[in-house]
Amino acid sequence: MEDLPSNRQLMGATAFAMAASAVILTTIVLPSEYAIDPTGIGQALNLTQMGEIKAQLAREAANDAAATASATTAAALPAAQVADAQAAEDAPTAAARSETMQVTLAPGEGAEIKAVMQKGARIAFNWSVAGGHVNFDTHADAPGISYHGYEKGQQSTGQQSELVAAFDGKHGWFWRNRSAGTVTVTLRVDGEFSELKRVV
Question: Which domains does the chain carry?
Answer: 1-76 (no CATH), 93-198 (2.60.120.380)
Q: Between residues 129 and 32, which one has the greater pLDDT?
A: 129
Q: For residues 152 and 174, give the distance between their C-alpha atoms in angstroms, rounded to a whole number.
A: 9
User: What 8-state DSSP symbol labels residue 144?
Assistant: T
Helices (H), 7-146: 7-24, 30-34, 41-44, 47-75, 79-89
Burial letters for 49-83: b for 16+ Cβ neighbours within 10 Å, e otherwise? bebbeeeeeeeeeebeeeeeebeeeeeeeeeeeee
Residues 178-185 have a mean pLDDT of 96
Give 43-93 pLDDT, tens digit per residue.
777 666 666 776 777 777 777 777 666 555 555 555 545 445 554 455 445
pLDDT value at position 50? Answer: 66
Mean of all residue pLDDT scores within the chain: 83
Q: How far apart are CA 161 and CA 126, in angstroms?
A: 7
Model pLDDT, residue 198: 95
Q: Phi and psi of 154, rounded to 5°?
A: -125, 150
Give residue 80's pLDDT: 46
CA 187 to chain centre: 17
Least reliable range by pLDDT among 28-37, 38-47, 80-89: 80-89
Mean pLDDT lowest among 27-31, 46-50, 80-84, 133-137: 80-84
Is the pLDDT score of 125 beyond 80? yes
